[in-house]
Structure 1
Amino acid sequence: MNGELSRADLLSVVERSPAAAAAHDRAGWVGLFAADGSVEDPVGSRPAVGHHQIGKFFDTFIGPRDIVFHRDADYVAGATVLRDVLLQVSMGGGVDMRIPAYLRYVVNGDHTIAELQAYWELPAMLWQFARQGVGAATAGAGLAVGLLRNQGPLGTLGFARGFRRPGRRDRALLDALLTAVSSGDQLTVHRMLGRGTPISAGDDGALGLEELSAVLRGATWSKRIGAGPTVAVGVRTADDSRGVLLVDFRSEGLPAITRLRWFC
């Protein structure tokens, strides 16, 4: 999908997104995306697809606020850039939010963005929002009005789907997997994942379970974000390098891990 784009090319495309958002450049930000591009923000909510819907997304969430992107690290694999960030969002009325997030961009060969996914926790954000005091009421009312005006009732319900995230039993399963893979307990890892669980370097690079287990042996885990069906986990390996593991879970039935993607 990215043709011959280099790492520098990919990062240049991605960097235009926070620059346009900071400048409140609606046309510039929407124009970064392919005609059939999509924005899923947060992951789990209904995606905005195509320039018209992406423009409505901008009008609702970006245009009325000041957003500063504090970038920690970028991980590039194939056509995908995964960015570890802290979002500083000024909502107005003295309400300022700090939202830990991972941003996943898929870039086309023509330097347009095919997909933007933002992994951040909507329930945690609302809890932080509610603790902002009196100013939160005014800012919250403005957000609600903007949602309904720009997205309509169905779009507002689609945004509310962003409350979904892996549950307590999913997180317990993830803890058990991370403990097993870090300690080198291959038997437990194989039993938990089974033979059919897709594992990749980035979105689609070849990566075997044994290879991933070797990389993650002795690793420690930090920033975790649960959004939609996925938990994104910050990793520091035994040789002090860093990466992010995206872990997808089955949406119904007993907890099960359905996919692993490793970005480094």
Structure 2
Amino acid sequence: MPLDPTATELRNAVLASPRAVAAHDRAAWVGLFARDAVVNDPVGAAPHRGPDAIARFYDTFIAPNDIVFDVAHDFAGPATVVRDLAITITMSTGAQVRVPMHLRYEIATEDGDLRISHLAAYWELLPMIGQLMGTGIAGLRAGTRLGGLLLRNQGMSGLVGMAQACTGIGRTGKEIAHRLCAAAAAGDAATVTELAGGRETVRLWSGESVSVPELVARARGLRCGKTLAAGRSVTVSGETPDGPVLLIFDFHPAAPRLETLRVHTSTVG
């Protein structure tokens, strides 16, 4: 495998994941990950580290369900693929939920093959629980079964770790993200600089750092769409005259202060 894989090669490595999920192939799915990989699903919950923990994650959240991926856009950059999508989950009781999300895959080369080294799933747990309970008895039964699997496969620490996803930057982070996007779209570099913590540059997904005025020039006409708060991060799907974009805002662990902003623009597939 090349030391610097192409965007298509990176995306192909990622596409093996939904194929294994659809086939209910546990060994294939777990085998996609590097030996020291981390699954953070959802972002804000306690992460799952290493093959044993990732296998237990599969047994809890993937094995009992049928999951369909509905992808709007894939973005690819250096060693990373980000997917803008929604998934439809049909649980063993027949309860069905549709979950908007963004998925970020970091890819590494291990033993000559491309492996997933980090999977970060940005989605909102509480709205999903509300949607599930709204399906009635089937949803209640599905939630009860999921709680039992979580305790059996991951113990009390897994239950507590999952509950951490109910906290985070939430509405405050969304408001800051939307204000920054609106300022960028309007050409207001001063407000973007203020909301970006006073920093004079912003990192693009390519690794390139651009000045705030240059970012604002590129963001003219930006329109925000799907916005998700997960842990201390907010992700935003957007559209510009030049095409789709995806923004990831990471906030300080203890304050509503923006720490990093990554802008993803290079679609693939």
The TM-score bracket by the shorter chain reads over 0.9
User: Are the counterparts in 2 of residues 3 and 108 from structure 1 also a CA contact under 8 Å?
Assistant: no
Counterpart residue identity of residue 247, structure 1: F
Post-superposition offset of 1:172: 2.4
- How many residues align? The count is 261
What is the TM-score normalised by the length of structure 1? 0.94
Q: RMSD across aligned C-alpha pairs, in angstroms?
A: 1.6
**Over 6 Å off, 4+ runs:** none
Is the contact made by 1:197 and 1:258 (CA closer than 8 Å) also made in structure 2?
no
Number of the residue aligned with 1:108: 108
Contact (CA 8 Å) 1:197, 1:259: kept in 2 or not? no
Deviations 1:9-46 (A, max 9, x none): 10110000000011111110000000001100000111
**Structure 2 unpaired stretches of 5+:** none
- Residue 258 (structure 2) pairs with residue 257 (structure 1): yes
1:57-206 matches, within 5 Å, as 57-109=57-109, 110-196=113-199, 199-202=202-205, 204-206=207-209
SS of residue in 2 equivalent to 1:217: coil
Q: TM-score, normalised by structure 2?
A: 0.92
Give secondary structure in 1 for the equivalent of 2:237.
strand
State the match for 1:223 in structure 2.
226
**Cα distance in 2, alignment partners of residues 147 and 215 from structure 1:** 45
| Superposed displacement of residue 167, structure 1 | 3.1
Query: CA separation in 1, counterparts of 2:69 and 2:77?
Result: 21
What secondary structure sits across from 2:142 in the alignment? helix
Report whether the alignment pairs 1:53 with 2:56. no
CA distance in structure 2 between the partners assigned to 1:207 and 1:154 by the alignment: 42
Deviation per residue, 1:131-158 (Å, 9 max, x gap) = 0011112111110110000010011111
Any unmatched runs of 5+ in structure 1? none
Shift of 1:197: 7.3
Most deviating of 141-150 and 208-217: 208-217
The aligned residue for residue 23 of structure 2 is 23
Per-residue deviation at 1:204?
A: 3.5
What residue number does 2:10 align with? Answer: 10
Distance in 1 (CA, whole Å) between partners of 2:157 and 2:53 is 13
Instruction: Report how far residue 217 of structure 1 moved.
Output: 1.7
Q: Which amino acid is the alignment partner of residue 82 of structure 1?
A: V
Contact 2:171-2:229 within 8 A present in 1 as well: no
Identity %: 38
CA distance in 1, matches of 2:183, 2:230: 23
